Structure 1
Amino acid sequence: MQGTVRNIFWIGVISLFIWTGCKEPVEVFIPKGDDGQVFAIDTEDSEIPYVVIDTRGASIPYEPKVQAQMKIYQEKKLIQTQLIDIEYRGKTSFRLSDKKGFNFETIDEAGEGIDVSFLGLPKEEDWRLIGHVVNKSEKYIWDRSLMFNQVAYDISNQIGKYASRGKFVEIEVNGEYMGVYYLCEKLKRDSQRIDIKSLNTSSTNLTGGYILKIDKADAGPEHDGKPLSYFLNNWDDDARYTSQNSFRSGYDVFRKQINFEAFRPPYHPDQYLETYFMYEYPKAEDITGAQKIYIADYLQDFETALLQDDFGAGERSYADYIDIGSFVDYFLINELCRNVDAYRISTFLVKDRDGKLGMGPVWDFNIGFDEGDRIPMNDWVINYNNYVNKDPWMMPFWWERLMEDQIFRQAVKTRWTTLRGSTLSTGNLQKLVSDTSKYLQDNNAVTRNYAKWEVSADRTYDQSVLDLQNFLSQRANWMDGKIGAF
C-alpha cells in the first residue's frame, strides 16, 4: 500500500513537471524607472514625483546626517539625481510616529553644501520631508487628509506672508515605500525665504537680522553620535534650556515679573510660567555675547511697554517695537486653522536690521484644523491657558494683552474683512482643499499611502476631506461673528 501511494505521488510530481514545463514562462512585472531603478511600489502613471533615497547601507540617525543618493522620478522618468546628507527630524512627532520625517541637505561630490532647486522651488541647500503622524500600536493618525501643512502654508503665501513652499511627493527609503510626504523649504535666512540682513561676529550694527523661536529646546550638537534609541526617549531635552541656546522672558504667562532663576532642570514645577526664546539665527554656537544682550533687551523692552501702556489714554509705545501687521496675520492664520501649537511652540519671530519684531513665518499644523483638540471650536487658540493647566509650554501673555487694545482689535477686523472678501472667502478655502485632495486621489497616492499606513477604519479619506472643508467653513463663520463684534 505504501509503495502504491509513493508511486502515485511521483507520477503526480512528474506530470506536474511536464505540464508546467510545457507552459510559456510567466513574466513577473517589476516597477522601474526609465533608468532601470527598481521601485518599491508601482506608481503607475502618477504625476506626483516619486523620490528614491539610498543611503548605501548606512542607518539613518537622528543627528548628525549621513550621505545618500536621491533620485526624483515623474511618471517613472528620472528628472533629477542629487547627493544629500539626511537625518530624522521632529520631536514629539518623531517619537510617536512610525512614519518618520526627515531633514536633508544638498551636497556636492566633496560633501560640501550646495544650493539646488527641486521641482521648480527656489535654489537652497536645506530641505524638509514631512509626513503625517501614524502610530500603529495605538492605532491613531494625525491629519488623515495628508494636507494640513500644505493648506496652511498656501493660505499664508496667498495672503502675502511667506511660509515654507513645497510639493507633494511619494518616497521610498532604502527600498521601503514610505508614502506621501511634503517636500518643503526649511525656514531659514535666505533671500528667497526669510529675507533679512545677515548678522555675523564682525557685524557692528546689532539691530539685526535675528530669527528666534518659541519652541521646545533642540538637542544640540553635544548629542551627535548618540544612538537612535536615545532620541526616541529624550523627552527631557525638549525642556533643557540653557544660556547658550536661549534666553527667558522677564515675565511669566500671567504678566508677573519672574523672580526665580532661569535654566532650571527640565520640567521643574514652575516651568509652565516661563517663555524661552531660542536662537535660530545666528545659531546658538555663532551668536555673540553683544548680540545676545541686544536682542534680549529688545524683547524685554517690548514686553514691558506692552504691559505698561495705558490703552485708554492712547499709550501704545509697544507699537514702536513690533510690526503689528505681521502679528495680525499670524493671529488670523493660526486661529482660522485652529493650530493649538501656535504662539507657544513651533513659533518663529524675525527682526531685520533697523526693523521691528515680526511674527512668523507660520509653521507646523499637524494637529490643527478639525483635529486641533484642547481648544473648542468656538474659542480662540490664544485662550489655551483657560483649557490646559500647567502645560510645560503655556500661552505667552502677549496675545491676551494685545486683544485688550482696541486699536489692535480694529487692525484684526480690517484685515479679516478684506481677506474674507478675497483670499479667505469660503469658496476659495473650499477650492484649495478640493483641488489638493483631487490631485492626490487622481494620482492614486492616497490609495498607495494607506495601503502602507492604515491603522483603523474609523474614517475614510473622503470623509476627512469633507470634515476639513466643513471645519474651515464653520471656523471662518465663527470668526466672522467674533471679529465683527470687535
Structure 2
Amino acid sequence: MSILWYRMMRSYRSLVIGAIIGMASLSVWAYTWTESSSVRIHQHLQPGKVEGCTHDETVFCTHLPIVSIKTNGQKLEIQKVGDDKRAYRVSNEIIGEISVIDNPSTYNHLKDERAVHTRTKLKYRGNSSIKFDKKSYKLNWIHEDLSENRDENFLGMGRHDEWVLNGPFLDKTLIRNYMCMNIAGEIMESTPDVRFCEVFVDEMYQGVYVAMENVAKDIDRVDLTTYKKGDPFTSYIVRADRQRGLPEELNNFTHYANRMERDTALEVIYPREVVDMPELKTFIERDLSKFEKALYSYDYDDKAYGYRQYIDVESFVDYFIINEFFKNYDAGVFSTYLYKDIRGKLHIGPVWDFNNAADNFIEVALDEKGIQMVQRNWYLMLMKDEDFVEAVIRRYDKLREGWLNEEVLLNYIDETVGFLGEATERNNVVWGYSFDPTKVSSASRLKPIERNLTSYEMSISQLKNFIIQRGRWLDQHIHTLRQYAHESRVKQFNH
C-alpha cells in the first residue's frame, strides 16, 4: 500500500509541477513583448544640412535626395490582362539608367557628384495606383552588362538591387506611407525602410516620392535561411493579393475551403524556384495549411493542438492593431505578407501600403468608428479565442502610451510637414491640379466627389482630425472586441 501511495503522490507532484510550468509559459506569452530590435532611421529627425543655396532659381536645389531616371527614349506602357472578372493592369519593363544624389551635409543639385549611378530595370507598379497620373516605379538595379543584381546602398537603407519609388498622388498629404511605415517599424520587425526624395524622369521634375525597400528575403529585410537547391523544404514569403492565375499561387487550406476573401489568393514571393518545382510549392501549401487547419478546427484555441503552436502570435496582434488603428483595410486582403523561417513559426507582415489609410479609401468614406479587421482572412477565427482578444486589448493599451499616442502622432505629422518644406510646394506646382477633383479621372479621386480636399492644408488637417478621433473612439470601444470571443458567439466552433 505504501509503495502504491508513493507512486500516486509522485505522479500527482509531476502533474502539479507541469501545470505550474504551463501556467508560467502562458503568463510569459500573455504579458511579455518583444519590440522591434532594428534601429529605425526617421529621415526627418536626422541632422539638418547647411541651409539654403546661393545661386538663382534656375538651378534646382533641395535638401532632399534627388533620384534621376533616364529611359533612353523608351516608353513605359500599361496593358490590361485577363477577363473582366479578374482583369488587372501591368506595365511593360524597360532598361534605363538611374542616378542618386545625396550629399551628407549640403543641399543637392542635379549636377552634383552621384552617390549611385547604375543601369536599372524599370516599370510602373501598383494595382489601383497604376492608373494615377503620378506613377510609382519598381526598380531592379543591374550591372552595365545587363546581368542581374547590382546591390547598392540607396539613401542609407542598405545594399540591395530591388527598390520601390512610391509616388503619393491620392494621398495629398504626401506622408501617409512615410509616417505609418516608420511607426510600424518601431513596433514590428522587418518593416521596410522609407525615405523621401525628389524624382526626375528624363530631366522632367516628377515631385516628392517615398523611396522604399520592397518586401524580399535579405538579412536587412526579411531575414530567412536561404533555400538550398534540392532540399524538400524551405523558408518562405507569401503574399495575399488579387487572384491572377499565376503558377506561384497556392491552393492552401483557406483557399481550398473557400475561406479566402473573394478573388484573392496567396502567391509565393520567396523562393522563386516554386515556379519550376511543384514539390517545393506543395511543401509550402502543406506547411501553411497546418496552421490553417488547426485554426479552423474544433481545437483552434487548444494550447497543445490549436493555432498557437504554428504562428508568432505577437506579429498577428501587432499587425491587427496597426492596420486597424489607421483603418488600412486593404490589409488582410491585398498586399498582405506572411513569412516563415524553417527554424521558427509563421509571422504575418511586413506591413505594406498605407496610401488608402486614415479615411483615404477611394470607394467609400471610413470615419473614426468601427472595427473591420475582425472579418479579414485568419482573423475571423483568431478573434474567437479569448486569449488572443485579451492580448490585442492589452497591447493596444500599451501602444497608446507610446508610438500610437495622440500627441506623438500629431507631433510626427507636424515635424514631417516642416521637414518637407519647400519640396511640398514644388510637388504641388506639378500635381496641384489634383486638388480640383474635376480635373482627375474617377479612378484618381475619392467617392463621392465631395470627399476630395481642395488644398494641402485641408489634407493635413483631415489626417490630424482622423488620428485624434480614431484613437479616442478606439480607447472607448477596444474592449468590445471581447464580444467576438464570447461563448454565445463561438460555442459552435468549440470542442
What TM-score do the two structures reach when normalised by structure 2? 0.72
2:268/2:274 contact within 8 Å kept: no
Q: Deviations over 1:165-206 (max 9, x none)?
A: 1211111101211111111111100001111111143225x1
- Taking structure 1 as reference, are residues 275 and 183 closer, same or farther at Cα in structure 2, changes over 3 Å only? closer
1:309/1:318 contact within 8 Å kept: no
Cα offset, 1:96, TM superposition: 1.8
Give the letter for the 2:426 counterpart: R
2:252/2:286 contact within 8 Å kept: no
Residue 211 of structure 1 corresponds to which residue in structure 2?
A: 237
Residue 456 of structure 1 corresponds to which residue in structure 2?
A: 435
Q: Which piece of structure 1 moves more, 169-178 or 284-293?
A: 284-293
Cα offset, 1:79, TM superposition: 4.1
Where 1:105 maps in the other structure, the secondary structure is strand
Q: Which piece of structure 1 moves more, 187-196 or 277-286?
A: 277-286
> In the aligned structure 1, how far is the partner of 2:218 from the partner of 2:254?
32
> In the aligned structure 2, how far is the partner of 1:453 from the partner of 1:211?
36
- Taking structure 1 as reference, are residues 378 and 69 closer, same or farther at Cα in structure 2, changes over 3 Å only? closer
- Taking structure 1 as reference, are residues 161 and 107 closer, same or farther at Cα in structure 2, changes over 3 Å only? same
Q: Deviations over 1:392-449 (max 9, x none)?
A: xxx42x11211111100111122212221122211111122111111112xx111111
Residue 75 of structure 1 corresponds to which residue in structure 2?
A: 108
> In the aligned structure 1, how far is the partner of 2:301 from the partner of 2:280?
35
Cα offset, 1:463, TM superposition: 1.9
Where do 1:382-421 residues align within 5 Å? 382=373, 395-396=376-377, 398-421=378-401
Residue 257 of structure 2 corresponds to which residue in structure 1?
A: 257
Equivalent in 403, 414, 424 of residue 423 of structure 1: 403
Q: Which piece of structure 1 moves more, 279-288 or 297-306?
A: 279-288
1:249/1:275 contact within 8 Å kept: no
Residue 328 of structure 1 corresponds to which residue in structure 2?
A: 317
Cα offset, 1:162, TM superposition: 2.4
Q: Deviations over 1:444-485 (max 9, x none)?
A: 111111111122344221221121122112212222222245
Residue 229 of structure 2 corresponds to which residue in structure 1?
A: 201
Q: Deviations over 1:371-401 (max 9, x none)?
A: 13465531123256xxxxxxxxxx42x1121
- Taking structure 1 as reference, are residues 354 and 288 closer, same or farther at Cα in structure 2, changes over 3 Å only? farther
- Taking structure 1 as reference, are residues 78 and 381 closer, same or farther at Cα in structure 2, changes over 3 Å only? farther
Q: Which piece of structure 1 moves more, 87-96 or 461-470?
A: 87-96
> In the aligned structure 2, how far is the partner of 1:312 from the partner of 1:68?
53
Cα offset, 1:143, TM superposition: 0.7
Cα offset, 1:312, TM superposition: 7.6
Q: Deviations over 1:318-364 (max 9, x none)?
A: 11111111101111111111112110010000010121111000001
Residue 142 of structure 2 corresponds to which residue in structure 1?
A: 107
> In the aligned structure 2, how far is the partner of 1:322 from the partner of 1:472?
30
> In the aligned structure 2, how far is the partner of 1:127 from the partner of 1:314?
41
Where do 1:59-208 residues align within 5 Å? 59-60=75-76, 62-72=91-101, 74-76=107-109, 77-112=112-147, 113-133=149-169, 142-204=170-232, 206=233, 208=234
Give the letter for the 2:139 counterpart: F
Q: Which piece of structure 1 moves more, 167-176 or 59-68?
A: 59-68
> In the aligned structure 2, how far is the partner of 1:405 from the partner of 1:310?
11
1:377/1:475 contact within 8 Å kept: yes
Q: Which runs of 5+ in 2 are unaligned?
A: 1-56, 78-90, 437-452, 483-495
Spell out structure 1 runs of 4+ moving beyond 3 A.
41-45, 249-252, 256-259, 271-275, 284-287, 309-316, 372-376
Cα offset, 1:161, TM superposition: 2.6
Cα offset, 1:258, TM superposition: 4.3
Cα offset, 1:42, TM superposition: 5.1
Where 2:118 maps in the other structure, the secondary structure is strand
Q: Which piece of structure 1 moves more, 93-102 or 361-370?
A: 93-102
1:164/1:185 contact within 8 Å kept: yes
Asked if 1:57 is matched to 2:73, the reply is yes
Residue 28 of structure 1 corresponds to which residue in structure 2?
A: none
> In the aligned structure 2, how far is the partner of 1:456 from the partner of 1:152?
23
Residue 493 of structure 2 corresponds to which residue in structure 1?
A: none
RMSD: 2.5
Cα offset, 1:257, TM superposition: 3.3
Q: Give percent identity, aligned residues only.
A: 28
Asked if 1:317 is matched to 2:306, the reply is yes
> In the aligned structure 1, how far is the partner of 2:293 from the partner of 2:402?
37
Residue 14 of structure 1 corresponds to which residue in structure 2?
A: none
Where 1:197 maps in the other structure, the secondary structure is coil
Cα offset, 1:153, TM superposition: 0.6
Give the letter for the 2:201 counterpart: V
Residue 247 of structure 1 corresponds to which residue in structure 2?
A: 250
Task: Please say which structure displays the higher CA radius of gyration.
Answer: 1
Give the letter for the 2:70 counterpart: D
1:321/1:356 contact within 8 Å kept: yes
Cα offset, 1:310, TM superposition: 4.5
2:124/2:130 contact within 8 Å kept: no
What TM-score do the two structures reach when normalised by structure 1? 0.74
- Taking structure 1 as reference, are residues 118 and 145 closer, same or farther at Cα in structure 2, changes over 3 Å only? same
Cα offset, 1:365, TM superposition: 1.3
Equivalent in 341, 346, 350 of residue 352 of structure 1: 341
